[in-house]
Structure 1
Amino acid sequence: MTGLDRRAAAGAAPSSTFRRVAVRCALIGVGCLVVMSVAAWVVSQQIAEREALRDASSRARGIAWGVAGPLVTGGVRRGDPQSLDRIGEVLHARIAEGRVSHIVLWDGDGRILWMSRGDLAGQSYDLSQDAMTALTTQRAVAHLPGSTAPHDADLFAEPDQLEVFVGAVGADGEPFLFEAYMPADRIAADRASVLPKLLAMGIGSVALLLALFVPLALRLAGRVDDAQRRRTRALGRSVESWRHQRLLLAQDLHDGVIQDMAAISMGMSLLEGRSLDDDASREVLTRVVGSARRGEASLRSLVVDLAPRQLETRGLAEAVVDLARQHRAQDLDITVSYSRDVRVPDGSGILAFRVIREGLRNVVKHAAAGAVLVDVRAGAQADTIEVEVLDDGAVPPAEGALASGQGLRLLAETIEDVGGSLTLGRAPGGGTRLAAVIPFVRTQPTLA
């Protein structure tokens, strides 16, 4: 027996597709949650930074145009102390509110008009590209902390601060540049506010997807496992049936053909060197011829049982008729009833043939019957056929005979695998009734 046969006969279970799919679904779920968490963190950071820049730009523009602009006069540009004190008092009050940490005012030539800390007023420097853009367009240009190099040798570097440039017009009608630095704590606050919402939405979406996908995947995996188990059982039964068929073949050869061959050999030994004219020699010769004929008939019957050519070439009806003809040689009166409207697929035909062959074999060996009816007809349910083997034997089937008989048990399990049924019981008028309901199947089950 090969390794495959041993595994099938032992009923070895295939590796569980359900278990593999469950593990994969769990890993996919964890992976989705990790990816979603990282994505939510990144997106929340971007949203928080964008909102912080927008808020800083709006606040800086409001201070530049609404507060600083009306106070930037010719006196401020000339460095008049009273004008500078006045604008300093107002802007320091805004810084004291905590939303702005440092302010620098520039004229259009890069000269510092006023600054909230330090003593560089009146000094001139080269303005950065962003500062020039804000000055010429009169719009706000904001940067995240560390996202751009501070202009002019880090004169106004403010670590962890948002930097905003706003181009505005003073009370004297001349342009000036408003530069402000603001705390970046708003970013962390905005991210803390947005992140839970994004996580909840993302995790909810993943959970919904998994809730729809996982049961379907597990259900399909369960069906695959069921199909694998059925195939394993069918393979095991096929191997067991093959072994049983070998034992039956050996028994038939031993009880039939071998005995006949032994009788022929013994008879030929008795005839060796003797004349065939006397009555005793002729009687021995007659027995030898009879044994040879019985041996030939037995071998033909075995060949038909094992490989019915009509089943492959001309269909189930011809195979059943030929099978009945072989058993009529054993003094059985066999009647075959086959409905003309029955069109049987190959797989169902093989199973039906096995039922009839097993039934006739049991009649010959156990029933002591004289007449047998073989009936093949369309089933009461669509896409099924019904097969009956009825005999008038004096020996009714024993209780549980279907389960105890090796051949019938294997055949019943095979038919159950395809959704059919096989029953063995008493016939209505006495004797035995073997009946099968076989669905249409197009696979090729073994004839063993």
Structure 2
Amino acid sequence: MVLGRLSGCPAAAIRLYDPRMVKLRRPRADREPLSTVGLLVRFTAAGLIVLLSLAALIAFVARQAGTEQAAESARQVTYVTARGVVEPRLTAGVIAGQPEALRAFDTAMRQYVLQASLVRVKLWDADGRVVYSDEPRLIGTRFPLGPDEAEALRVRGSVESEVSDLSRPENRFEIPYRKLLEVYVGVRGPNGEPMLFEAYFRYQAVTEAGQAAWQRFAPPSLGALLLLELVQIPFAWSLARRVQRQQRDRERLLRHAVEASDAERRRIAGELHDGVVQELTGLNYALDAMRLGNPTEGQRAELIADSASRLRGSIGSLRSLLVDIYPPNLVEEGLASALAELAAGLERAGIDVRLETEEAEHLPPAVAALLFRAAQEVVRNVASHSGAREVLISAGRSDGVATLVIDDDGRGFDESRLEERSTGGHLGLRSIGDLLAESGGMLTVRAAPGQGTRVEVEVPVG
């Protein structure tokens, strides 16, 4: 048997294509070659842009959070001061403007309140009169209260804050401080009269708190982002090299496809010219000779029989070419029928074929098409180059893998000749191998000089 003959010989087993190869797609012919360094530079630049954007966002958020926290701290300090320091010392004498009471109140304010970033305090009554201020020139003056101030005055313990408007007359003595945060709290006098306590904080202290928050969060945040960028660079380098390899593979596949297409057209033209065209031309000459001559009945019958035989051979050759040019409908007819067509072509060439395709039914159309394309190329090589007398064509399915085996008893070849045939323009097997690898399949060739050739194809189902 053919299988026994090959399994017992010291044949070279040549695995041409590995199923782990990366899936390939047809490249665009006008695409410029991608540089690994260029891809890495693009990736790094994009990462730095994102890093800087995140740094700016983190800075903004951290500073805003720090500023808001500092403002909240100022509101809390003002509330505690109003309830714990101002209200207990707010006597009738202070409200009436008695000098002795105001001096005692001023001493307490300077001792317990006016310190750090708190630079000015004011105490108002409901009529807009400044009852007390650490700026004595304001004491006793009257100014209209704003809506927020009037609301805070009516509600005891209500705390409001805003950036002080230094253009208002009551704030003229705060102009040297440039920018202040104004916080006011509603308090009550000894007889329950509503009053308003105002505290003015340096706004620079608020912004400095925001800056401190940014400086506290910036190093770990930016450090983590920078570390992430540095960790990604080796992966980006590897990915860029892989993309470059894939592009080269796509270009190679496209080049092989174009070359194989040209070779296929030349082969079909050669077969038509040297086969069917020659047969039909010879038949035409024979029929013309019979028409112009005066053949006997026996000669006429012999010529008609010979012409019919030659026409049947030409029809068979044309049928084989049609199968090559436009494969059968695998969905409707199945892989077994298509392989039978290929086997018939070998038999017309005088080669005995043993066909085993009982297990080849119900394969997915894409898998069946791959197996048929591989069988088509291998059968063509057998008919053209092997000199075989006997061929086995077997197709089946096992453990989720569709298989095709074509085993001939021809002259075979050695490993070095396989490479020579590929580089010398015989691209059929290489193109089939690329096609199979693209689908996760594998093509294996086992051959030895004088010992025939065995081609095995495996394609995962699904």
TM range (shorter): 0.7 to 0.9
Contact 2:125 2:194 in 1 (8 A): yes
Residue in 1 that maps onto 2:9: none
SS of the residue corresponding to residue 263 of structure 1 reads helix
Are 1:432 and 2:452 counterparts?
yes
Q: 1:36 aligns with which of 47, 53, 58?
A: 58
Are 1:192 and 2:180 counterparts?
no
Contact 1:11 1:236 in 2 (8 A): no
Segments of structure 2 that go 5 or more residues without pairing to the other structure are 1-25
SS of the residue corresponding to residue 267 of structure 1 reads helix
Residue in 2 that maps onto 1:3: none
After superposition, the Cα gap between the structure-2 partners of 1:205 and 1:388, relative to the gap in structure 1 and judged at 3 Å, is same
Residue in 2 that maps onto 1:416: 437
SS of the residue corresponding to residue 324 of structure 2 reads helix
Q: 1:378 aligns with which of 383, 397, 400?
A: 397
Task: Provide TM-score, normalisation by structure 2.
Answer: 0.72
Counterparts of 2:119 and 2:172 in 1: how far apart (Å)? 15
Residue in 1 that maps onto 2:5: none
After superposition, the Cα gap between the structure-2 partners of 1:32 and 1:214, relative to the gap in structure 1 and judged at 3 Å, is farther
Contact 1:113 1:121 in 2 (8 A): yes
SS of the residue corresponding to residue 359 of structure 2 reads coil
Contact 2:335 2:360 in 1 (8 A): no
Residue 275 of structure 1 and its aligned partner are, at CA, apart by 0.8
Counterparts of 1:181 and 1:11 in 2: how far apart (Å)? 70
After superposition, the Cα gap between the structure-2 partners of 1:356 and 1:175, relative to the gap in structure 1 and judged at 3 Å, is closer
Residue in 2 that maps onto 1:266: 285
SS of the residue corresponding to residue 309 of structure 1 reads coil
How many residues end up aligned between the 2 structures? 426
Are 1:144 and 2:165 counterparts?
no
Residue in 2 that maps onto 1:46: 68
Instruction: Between 268-277 and 91-100, report the one with greater CA deviation.
Output: 91-100
Residue 43 of structure 1 and its aligned partner are, at CA, apart by 2.6
Residue in 2 that maps onto 1:389: 407
Residue in 1 that maps onto 2:428: 407
After superposition, the Cα gap between the structure-2 partners of 1:399 and 1:230, relative to the gap in structure 1 and judged at 3 Å, is closer
After superposition, the Cα gap between the structure-2 partners of 1:9 and 1:50, relative to the gap in structure 1 and judged at 3 Å, is closer
SS of the residue corresponding to residue 73 of structure 2 reads helix
Are 1:59 and 2:73 counterparts?
no
Counterparts of 2:96 and 2:390 in 1: how far apart (Å)? 134
Counterparts of 1:423 and 1:117 in 2: how far apart (Å)? 102
Are 1:102 and 2:120 counterparts?
yes
Residue 283 of structure 1 and its aligned partner are, at CA, apart by 7.6
Residue 432 of structure 1 and its aligned partner are, at CA, apart by 1.3
Counterparts of 1:312 and 1:77 in 2: how far apart (Å)? 103
Contact 1:140 1:164 in 2 (8 A): no
RCO higher in 1 or 2 (8 Å CA, sep ≥ 6)?
2
Deviations 1:89-120 (CA, angstroms, capped at 9, x unpaired): 44455577555433444455444444433445
Pairing of 1:28-427 with structure 2 (within 5 A): 28-66=50-88, 68-69=89-90, 72-74=91-93, 76-77=94-95, 79-93=97-111, 97=115, 100-119=118-137, 121-139=139-157, 141-146=159-164, 150=168, 154=171, 158=175, 159-169=178-188, 177-199=196-218, 203=222, 234-277=253-296, 291-309=310-328, 311-340=330-359, 343-379=362-398, 382-391=400-409, 393=410, 395-403=411-419, 404=421, 405-418=426-439, 419-426=441-448
Residue 318 of structure 1 and its aligned partner are, at CA, apart by 1.9
Instruction: Between 246-255 and 93-102, report the one with greater CA deviation.
Output: 93-102
- Aligned partner letter, 2:274: D
Residue 217 of structure 1 and its aligned partner are, at CA, apart by 11
SS of the residue corresponding to residue 292 of structure 2 reads coil
Task: Provide TM-score, normalisation by structure 1.
Answer: 0.74
Residue 246 of structure 1 and its aligned partner are, at CA, apart by 1.0
Counterparts of 1:11 and 1:163 in 2: how far apart (Å)? 67
Residue 361 of structure 1 and its aligned partner are, at CA, apart by 3.1
Counterparts of 1:132 and 1:316 in 2: how far apart (Å)? 93
Residue 259 of structure 1 and its aligned partner are, at CA, apart by 1.9
Deviations 1:155-197 (CA, angstroms, capped at 9, x unpaired): 6655423334444455677665444434334313321322234
Residue 199 of structure 1 and its aligned partner are, at CA, apart by 3.8
Contact 1:360 1:389 in 2 (8 A): no
Counterparts of 2:389 and 2:118 in 1: how far apart (Å)? 115
Contact 1:316 1:349 in 2 (8 A): yes
After superposition, the Cα gap between the structure-2 partners of 1:12 and 1:331, relative to the gap in structure 1 and judged at 3 Å, is farther
Counterparts of 2:106 and 2:29 in 1: how far apart (Å)? 95
After superposition, the Cα gap between the structure-2 partners of 1:266 and 1:209, relative to the gap in structure 1 and judged at 3 Å, is same
Residue in 1 that maps onto 2:16: none
- Aligned partner letter, 1:438: E
- Aligned partner letter, 1:32: L
Q: What's the RMSD between the two structures over aligned residues?
A: 4.6
After superposition, the Cα gap between the structure-2 partners of 1:178 and 1:307, relative to the gap in structure 1 and judged at 3 Å, is closer
Residue 251 of structure 1 and its aligned partner are, at CA, apart by 1.4
Residue 328 of structure 1 and its aligned partner are, at CA, apart by 1.8
Deviations 1:310-364 (CA, angstroms, capped at 9, x unpaired): 6453211122223223332222222212243754322332333334333333333
Segments of structure 1 that go 5 or more residues without pairing to the other structure are 1-6, 443-448
- Aligned partner letter, 2:454: L
After superposition, the Cα gap between the structure-2 partners of 1:213 and 1:286, relative to the gap in structure 1 and judged at 3 Å, is same
After superposition, the Cα gap between the structure-2 partners of 1:134 and 1:259, relative to the gap in structure 1 and judged at 3 Å, is closer
Contact 1:13 1:232 in 2 (8 A): no
% identity of equivalent residues:
26
Contact 2:64 2:210 in 1 (8 A): no
After superposition, the Cα gap between the structure-2 partners of 1:368 and 1:188, relative to the gap in structure 1 and judged at 3 Å, is closer
